[in-house]
Chain A
Amino acid sequence: MSRKGFLPLGDRLSRGAPALTASGLDPLRRLWVAGAALAGRLGLSGRTLVIALPYLWLLLFFLIPFAIVLKISFSEPLIARPPYAPLVEWVEGAYLEIRLNLGNYLFLAQDSLYAAAYLNSLKIAAVSTVLCLLIGYPIAYGIARAPVTWRMPLLMLIILPFWTSFLIRVYAWIGILKQNGLLNNLLIGLGVIDQPIQFLHTDFAVYVGITYSYLPFMILPLYATLERLDPALLEAAADLGCRPFKAFLTVTLPLSLPGILAGSLLVFIPAVGEFVIPALLGGPDTLMIGRVLWNEFFNNRDWPVASAVAIALLIFLVAPIMAFQHIQSRQQKADAR
């Protein structure tokens, strides 16, 4: 172990300690010196430590939970605690047995409920994204073109709802949409309808809820790109004979594409896996993958199938997330120029 000239770390610390105390260093500082020495021996500089920290965070709070879920998705359900069979087992204390159960994934593919739930989630998320875009674009454009002193207060108004709990805001929509809620009372009061309309517990309510909740995620990136747009470009278009609406289509729209893509992904990705809004506002037949997952976990206590649902969802969403990453890095490169 100990070669000539190399002392074991323990030896070195015990021999070095009196010398350090003699030079008047407090214990905390000594620990720091020892730690830095250790890091130096391992080839770690301060720079690598700074980079390592977020990786460590992701490893602890994302990769390890993901690995656990992945593991459960390959196991068999059991009526036990935890409610699944171990993946790896010592048989008779002699050899290791690994049982990979692909049945959960097969089950997802075979039962049309899951495919329908995935497709319906994608549809609801896509429609909500389009609604957010149609509502958010004019708002973002308006704020970006407002006088400079107005922009910050207007943006604050967009962000303000975040200061209230998300759950309370969704509950507020129940109050608006229910049978004798604000909306029905208003419509009856105005004489538009005689009988209250069933808004709550329909797909309509889910669209309203998702669009409302995710609108800021659409507006903020759109605002960021529109605000950077040089107004001289629109003047140049007009100067070259382009009418205002056509100038919007040929200049503003293509140049705000990065914002449109960023906003759309920020709305679409969480909306696919949304659970709270369909659970509270949706009807019994509003099929979304988030609710299916919840039912598998808590009603059926089938953790392996629930985990398989989660993993499959992740795989579905990896493609748009990668696209988002790609666009962001490309935009950063363009900005760096």
Chain B
Amino acid sequence: MTDTALPAASGAVQPNRRQTKLEPWQDPGEAPYVRIEGVSKTFGAFTAVDDVSLSIYRGELFSLLGGSGCGKTTLLRMLAGFEQPTAGHIYIDGVDMSEIPPYERPVNMMFQSYALFPHMTVEQNVAFGLHQDRVPGAEIRHRVTEALELVKLAPQRKRKPHQLSGGQRQRVALARSLVKRPKLLLLDEPLAALDRKLREETQFELVNIQEQVGITFVMVTHDQEEAMTMSSRIAVMDAGWIVQVGTPAEIYEYPQSRFVAEFIGQVNLFGGRVVEDAADHVVVAADAAGTEIEVSHAGSVPIGTRVHVAVRPEKMAIAKDPPADPRNAVQGTVDEIAYLGNASIYLIRLADGSMVRVTAPNVTRMTELPITWEDAVHVTWPAFAGVILQT
């Protein structure tokens, strides 16, 4: 980090609209800022992190996403230096972190519990890290003021943590970890302790602040929506493994495994066998669902391979009349309807008993649904909608 002043907070900014260079991971000339190489961590017989390798680039807001016990927090704690890898190396800005204790790493962490010092005021909490570096008093005052203004907490600077609301405490924790201008800021479930409405507001604010200060963020979260709205890239983790790394759109539109497809958003899975492997498309015979599915963008898959085809509910259409093309269409009866206002969710029961979920936008104004319970319907989707999953 350079020693330039942090710019003052400005108005709302859309998440995912990144002012820094858009996709450094696409640029072969760009060196990764954080390199995790073959890192494993075992606790006794339990393997929390299993041979993980990752590259994170400067200015990214990188998310580690997964359920509880997937190893995301252990990985974050290894970046902070609270845990030592059993195997592998972590490099931050080219420096091997193996022998460097937490108090000497150019890394700061925002704790899930915030871990504010209860006996210190807001100001003293934020100044704590600067005092450790023996920054001169005048500069400490200046930088603390700057950081508190950034998180809009300047009026509360003399308060103690127990006199603040949950949202204010969260912002103190953020200011305290930002004020040292670390090379890497680690956020452990930064929004988990906030209520839903505040969480949504804070998502925007956090992305906004990250863009202003330009610090590389690594965030741990179990909330896929949070990861989707905030991140430049997401690493989905399961059982100590990184299952897939990609931008939110890549993860959502092109999941590489059943785990990712089912973990992120809603998905319909059709089991089947590849019957045609052409240059620009693959056809899967989904016997249980009673249809053939054409997937237009798939790579080559050998004929006879057993696969699953994943189709997102919002890419499907629902109609009472039979479609012209028997491919990419299933038929069943409406089992459940959930009216959400802007859209409706239909659960369709197929002949084999399995359920298909369809999300249809409510484009026209209606007080009575054109399709109702127990109606026999046809569900169709275009050839580009499906994704072939081999695992």
Q: Which of A's residues lie within 8 Å of B, judged by CB? A: 230, 232-233, 235-244, 246, 250-251, 254-255, 334, 337
A236-B109, A239-B102 in contact; A337/B117 too (CB < 8 A)?
no
Query: Which of B128-136, B284-292, B338-346 lies at the interface with chain A?
Result: B128-136
Number of A-B residue pairs with CB-CB distance less than 8 Å in the complex they form: 60
Q: Report the nearest A residue to B186, measured CB to CB.
A: A239
Contacts of A240 in B (CB 8 A): 103, 108, 128-129, 132, 176-177, 180
Q: Report the nearest A residue to B105, measured CB to CB.
A: A239
- Is there an interface contact between B104 and A251, defined as CB atoms closer than 8 Å? no
B113–chain A nearest beta-carbon distance, Å: 5
A258–chain B nearest beta-carbon distance, Å: 11
A241-B180, A243-B103 in contact; A235/B113 too (CB < 8 A)?
no
Q: Name the contact of A239 in the complex, choosing from B109, B117, B118, B119 (C-beta under 8 A).
A: B109
Contacts of B87 in A (CB 8 A): none
Contacts of B322 in A (CB 8 A): none
Cα distance, A236 to B114, chains bound together (Å)? 9
B82 within 8 A of A: yes
Contacts of A242 in B (CB 8 A): 103, 128, 132
Q: Using A232-B111, A233-B115, A239-B102 as known contacts, list a sample of 15 further A-B pairs with CB atoms less than 8 Å apart, ordered by residue number in A.
A: A235-B102, A235-B115, A236-B117, A238-B103, A239-B103, A239-B108, A240-B108, A240-B128, A240-B177, A240-B180, A241-B132, A246-B132, A250-B128, A254-B119, A255-B119
Cα distance, A243 to B102, chains bound together (Å)? 9
Contacts of B111 in A (CB 8 A): 232, 235-236
Contacts of B133 in A (CB 8 A): 241
Contacts of B117 in A (CB 8 A): 233, 236-237, 251
Contacts of A235 in B (CB 8 A): 80, 82, 102, 109, 111, 115
Cα distance, A234 to B210, chains bound together (Å)? 26
Contacts of B118 in A (CB 8 A): 255
B107 within 8 A of A: yes
- Is there an interface contact between A232 and B115, defined as CB atoms closer than 8 Å? yes
Which residue, of A240, A250, A251, has the highest number of chain B Cβ atoms within 10 A? A240
Cα distance, A241 to B181, chains bound together (Å)? 12
Q: Report the nearest B residue to A231, measured CB to CB.
A: B115
- Is there an interface contact between A238 and B129, defined as CB atoms closer than 8 Å? no
- Is there an interface contact between B80 and A230, defined as CB atoms closer than 8 Å? no
B162 within 8 A of A: yes
B109–chain A nearest beta-carbon distance, Å: 5
A237–chain B nearest beta-carbon distance, Å: 7
> Which B residues between 133 and 183 are near A, CB-CB below 8 angstroms?
133, 162, 176-177, 180
- Is there an interface contact between A337 and B103, defined as CB atoms closer than 8 Å? no
- Is there an interface contact between B82 and A237, defined as CB atoms closer than 8 Å? no
Contacts of A250 in B (CB 8 A): 128
B94 within 8 A of A: no
6 sampled A-B residue pairs with Cβ under 8 A:
A233-B115, A235-B102, A238-B81, A239-B109, A244-B103, A334-B162
Q: Secondary structure of the A side of the interface?
A: helix
Contacts of B69 in A (CB 8 A): none
Which residue, of B81, B113, B128, B180, has the highest number of chain A Cβ atoms within 10 A? B128
- Is there an interface contact between B129 and A241, defined as CB atoms closer than 8 Å? yes
Cα distance, A238 to B133, chains bound together (Å)? 12
Contacts of A251 in B (CB 8 A): 117
B101 within 8 A of A: yes
Cα distance, A230 to B116, chains bound together (Å)? 10
Contacts of A334 in B (CB 8 A): 162
- Is there an interface contact between B113 and A238, defined as CB atoms closer than 8 Å? no
Cα distance, A132 to B80, chains bound together (Å)? 37
Cα distance, A244 to B107, chains bound together (Å)? 17
Q: Report the nearest A residue to B113, measured CB to CB.
A: A232
A72–chain B nearest beta-carbon distance, Å: 48
Cα distance, A233 to B133, chains bound together (Å)? 18
Q: Report the nearest B residue to A254, measured CB to CB.
A: B119
Contacts of A241 in B (CB 8 A): 103-104, 129, 132-133, 180
Q: Name the contact of B162 in the complex, choosing from A233, A238, A337 (C-beta under 8 A).
A: A337
B166–chain A nearest beta-carbon distance, Å: 14
Cα distance, A235 to B80, chains bound together (Å)? 10
Which residue, of B82, B102, B119, has the highest number of chain A Cβ atoms within 10 A? B102
Cα distance, A237 to B125, chains bound together (Å)? 10
- Is there an interface contact between A230 and B180, defined as CB atoms closer than 8 Å? no
Which residue, of B80, B101, B132, has the highest number of chain A Cβ atoms within 10 A? B132
Contacts of A232 in B (CB 8 A): 111, 113, 115
Q: Mark B55-90, 1 if CB is under 8 A from A, else 0.
A: 000000000000000000000000011100000000
A238–chain B nearest beta-carbon distance, Å: 4
A89–chain B nearest beta-carbon distance, Å: 60
Contacts of A233 in B (CB 8 A): 115, 117
Q: Report the nearest B residue to A257, measured CB to CB.
A: B119
Cα distance, A236 to B115, chains bound together (Å)? 6
Cα distance, A32 to B360, chains bound together (Å)? 73
Contacts of B119 in A (CB 8 A): 254-255
Contacts of A238 in B (CB 8 A): 81-82, 101-103
Cα distance, A233 to B109, chains bound together (Å)? 12
Q: Report the nearest B residue to A334, measured CB to CB.
A: B162
Q: Mark B17-33, 1 if CB is under 8 A from A, else 0.
A: 00000000000000000
Contacts of A236 in B (CB 8 A): 109, 111, 115-117
Contacts of A239 in B (CB 8 A): 80, 82, 102-103, 107-109, 177
Contacts of A243 in B (CB 8 A): 103
